[in-house]
Amino acid sequence: MAGGSRRQFLVFFAALAIGGVPALARDTLLLGPRLGTLGTKTPAGKITPPRFSAASAGAAINAVRTARGRNALRHNGTLQSLAMQQARRLASLELLSHTPGPGLSLKERARRAGYRGQVAENLAGGYETFEEAIKAWLHSSYHRTTLISDRYTRFGAGVAISSKGEDDRYGTYWAIILGN
């Protein structure tokens, strides 16, 4: 973007109750060439693809939670898949929305994936690192509440970079989905 600055945006918090929990888990995901890392920057300031670690995302989320006296969250494969799908969908649409189309509410997405617990989602766009997105969430009362709520025990995190890169309104799209 002009002047090297990137507009930064957040979308509102969504929490929906939807019943039970599957027991899927993965530690590290290898992603496609348009997806970023947790924020490793090159000298030019671009995010380096293509590896994203659920373990590193969990460490960052749990550092925030435990510093505030909350229990650490456990990684959940279903929530991870949902977060990655949401980040990719938003990057392809160049949009930040909890409901980016008909039948795509968080509740509906989670139910279709077989997740029956309560879920909440934080989204961010325009932040080059996961840590920057977390800081922004912490400055929003709704997002902070989601991130540190005792209601949730599991998480999934996703990131996608728009195929337009710097020419996209947000460029990098972050999603975390928390569940119980």
Both tokens of 43, joined, read: 């000298």
Q: What is the dihedral of CA 23, 26, 27, 29, to 10 degrees?
A: -150
Region 162-173: what's the mean pLDDT?
Answer: 75
Both tokens of 138, joined, read: 């912490």
Residues 51-96 pLDDT 10s = 568 888 999 999 999 999 999 999 999 999 999 999 988 888 888 8
pLDDT value at residue 121: 95
Of 160, 150, 46, residue with least CA distance to 100: 160
Query: Are 120 and 16 within 8 A, CB to CB?
Result: yes
The verdict on whether omega for the bond into residue 100 sits within 30 degrees of 0, i.e. cis, is: no
Residue 168 has pLDDT above 90, yes or no: no
pLDDT value at residue 144: 95
Q: Say if pTM beats, i.e. exceeds, 0.75.
A: no
C-alpha span between 178 and 176 (Å, rounded):
7
